[in-house]
């Protein structure tokens, strides 16, 4: 079984944001090229964080982002060295000005995370545990297209995925636990919303 490559630092994430802002991106493919096709974890984190910003109000963005998250996490698990995405997604238009505004909103919380995380409970973010967290990211991503009908729920799920990604970047097992709790809370909210919806039928 191939080794999962999660050797990414916060400095790598900062560099990735700089590259996207400096590039004249108009499509998803432009974003991937700016980051580099081997930048799996930075791309996974960036996609999940974008859905947490107001950019998620673009119709279909949350659903497409969920599919991208699932594809990236799946390829990380398989140990691929170069990211593959279908042409239908790569050709999707990206509003550059709104994307840059979203990236500007992402930077402060990332900076805070960098200052307040450290290597803790390493057994939760190493070896097989990495695959478990990535499988969870993949499953959450697959659920996101179905959440388009429920306002804010896709952003909540994306936020939980981002926390799991950050736990792998910071190698912080405490953050991994926070991510697992976040996923659980989102599932509880979804359960309540669906029960309320069915009770009205």
In a domain, 3, yes or no: no
Question: Does residue 163 lie within any of the structural domains?
Answer: yes
Residue 26 lies in a domain: yes
**What distance in Å separates the CA atoms of residue 63 and residue 75, rounded to the nearest whole number?**
19
Q: What percent of the chain has pLDDT over 70?
A: 96
Two tokens at 84?
């593959």
Alpha carbons 93 and 28: distance in angstroms, whole number: 7
Output the pLDDT for position 143.
Answer: 95
2 inside domain? no
Q: Is 64 within a domain?
A: yes
Q: Is the pLDDT of residue 21 over 90?
A: no
Q: Is residue 4 part of a domain?
A: no
- At 93 the three-state DSSP class reads strand
User: Does residue 5 sit within a domain?
Assistant: no
**189 is a domain residue:** yes
pTM of the full structure: 0.91
**What pLDDT does 179 receive?**
96
Nearest-CA neighbor of 47 among 106, 95, 87?
106
Range of the domain at 45: 10-199
**Which tokens go with 6?**
């999660």
Q: Does residue 163 contact residue 175 with C-beta atoms inside 8 Å?
A: yes
What are 26-85's pLDDT values in tens digits?
788 888 887 776 688 888 999 999 899 888 888 888 999 999 999 999 999 998 888 899
Total tally of structural domains belonging to the chain: 1
154: nearest Cα among 84, 57, 30: 57
């Amino acid at each position: 079984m191939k080794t999962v490559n999660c050797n990414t630092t916060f400095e790598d994430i900062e560099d990735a944001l700089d590259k996207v802002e400096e590039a004249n991106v108009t499509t998803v493919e432009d974003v991937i090229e700016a980051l580099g096709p081997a930048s799996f974890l930075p791309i996974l984190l960036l996609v999940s964080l974008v859905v947490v910003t107001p950019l998620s109000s673009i119709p279909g963005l949350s659903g497409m982002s969920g599919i991208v998250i699932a594809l990236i996490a799946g390829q990380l698990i398989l140990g691929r060295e170069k990211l593959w995405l279908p042409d239908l997604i790569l050709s999707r238009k990206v509003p550059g000005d709104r994307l840059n505004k979203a990236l500007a909103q992402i930077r402060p919380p990332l900076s805070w995370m960098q200052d307040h995380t450290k290597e803790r409970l390493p057994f939760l973010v190493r070896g097989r545990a990495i695959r478990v967290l990535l499988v969870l990211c993949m499953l959450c991503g697959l659920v996101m297209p179905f959440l388009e009908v429920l306002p804010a729920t896709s952003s909540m799920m994306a936020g939980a995925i981002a926390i799991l990604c950050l736990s792998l970047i910071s190698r912080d097992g405490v953050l991994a636990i926070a991510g697992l709790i976040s996923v659980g809370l989102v599932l509880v909210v979804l359960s309540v919303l669906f029960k309320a919806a069915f009770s009205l039928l």
